[in-house]
Amino acid sequence: STIEALPWSLELVERFKDRWDWQRLAKIETLPWSLELIESYKERWDWSDVSANTALPWSLDLIECYKSRWNWRNLSYNKAVPWTLELIERFEDRLHFGSLFIKNGELLPLLRPTHVVEVMAHHLVELESINRVKNEHANDDPDDDSLPF
């Protein structure tokens, strides 16, 4: 598209800030992505698309700064995020582990097996609880809508 080919600068974004399609802008990787750009227009961005954009200056600090705005499913798919044990542990309650492992599976060798086990152990307790409830209700009416799954 021709919009990606524009000579992007902070000045250009600012000059036409009231005319941009911010959802479309959030997808453009050729923008001069910086903390200043993100912060200046944080109320205008489509955060779902920003979360999927691989051109952002991804860091643990950036993710922490906007943790209430990210689309965590899209972020979990994003290969440009610096996936570290610290990042995974800090946001384990927000990350979509299925998305993370499906899209970023090749990044997992960067983590030591003990790190993966440690993170997953946290979620294993939750899974065991669900399985226990399922087993307790295995002979119940299959049309019973009161089950939590």
Q: For 33-85, what is each residue's pLDDT tens digit?
A: 999 999 999 999 999 999 999 999 999 999 999 999 999 999 998 989 998 88
The full 3-state SS of 66-120, as one line of letters, equals: CCCCCCHHHHHHCCCCCCCHHHHHHCCCCCCHHHHHHHCHHHHHHCCHHHHHHHH
Question: Tell me, what's the pLDDT at 59?
Answer: 97
* Mean pLDDT on 15-40: 97
Is the pLDDT at 104 greater than 80? The verdict is: no
Identify the top-confidence range among 28-32, 91-95, 139-143. Answer: 28-32
Question: Tell me, what's the pLDDT at 123?
Answer: 65
Token pair in block for residue 12: 């250009």
Q: For 82-103, what is each residue's pLDDT tens digit?
A: 988 889 889 989 998 777 766 6
> How many Cβ atoms are within 10 Å of 44's Cβ, its own excluded?
14
